[in-house]
Structure formats: structure tokens, C-alpha cells
Amino acid sequence: MENVTVNYWAIITGAILSMVIGAIWYGPLFGKRWLEIVGATELDLEARKQMQKSAGPLYLVQFILTLFQVLVLAHLIADTRIAGGLERSLWIWGAFVIPTLAGAVMWTNEAVRLKRARFLIQGGYQLVMFIVFGLLLQFWK
């Protein structure tokens, strides 16, 4: 087995981009709908302050998990002769991310319309991220 090389700057950049895109995705793009899904309102300032207080450590954990995710994806992309980075990313998204997300969303006590909205918002974000990761890792070697 030959050694595969990955670009660690691309991995770090991918993790940073996930945070930036997530802020936009769950902010101006789908923020109001997301607040409704999680049971908060824009006017509920106290709940928002409480959520923001506990968010700092969670952002760090999410960043570390995303670094790991992009690192593994980088190795999978680098170790292939069959599929490019984008194609491999989309297969992984479709085969692992979406079924896992669907299972997590299906088994909640939320109304069906909230389940559907949660799935579409989260699945859409993951799709965008896997496209970004795949392109980044495919072309920045």
C-alpha cells in the first residue's frame, strides 16, 4: 500500500469554512425557521442569552469534530483512483450522513412539518459542506 498525502491546510480551511457557512446557514438564511424548530423565538431574549452562554464550548467541540471529519475525508479522497473528491464526498453524504440524520430526525416527538424542516435544513447544510470539502480536497493538494 502506498502512502497517501493530505493537505493539512485544506483540512483546517475546510473546518473554518464549515463554521463560517454554518453561521450564515443558521443565521440569515434559515435562522428564523431554525429558532422555530428548536423552540425559541427571536423575541425570547433570555433564552437566546442562555443559549449563547453555553454555545462557546460547543463551538470548540464542533470545530474539533469537523477537523476529524475533514481529515478522514481527505484520506479517503487521497486514497482513491476511482472517484474524485466531490464524487466521493457526495457518496459519503448520501450513504452515511443522510441516513444517520434521517434516523435522528424521525424518532423525535416533533410535528411532522418540524421534522421535515429540520431534516431539510440540516441535510442541506451537510450537502453544502460535503460539496465544499470535496472540492477543496480534490483541487487543493
pLDDT in tens, 56-109: 788 888 899 999 999 998 888 887 777 788 988 998 999 899 999 999 998 888
Q: How many CB atoms lie within 10 A of CB 137?
A: 27
Q: How many CB atoms lie within 10 A of CB 45?
A: 9
**pLDDT score recorded for residue 29:** 97
Comparing CA positions, the residue from 27, 117, 137, 123 lying closest to residue 72 is: 137
**pLDDT score recorded for residue 2:** 57
Domain ranges across the chain: 8-139
**How many angstroms separate the CA atoms of 113 and 36, rounded?**
11
Residue with cell 453555553: 54
**How many angstroms separate the CA atoms of 44 and 92, rounded?**
38
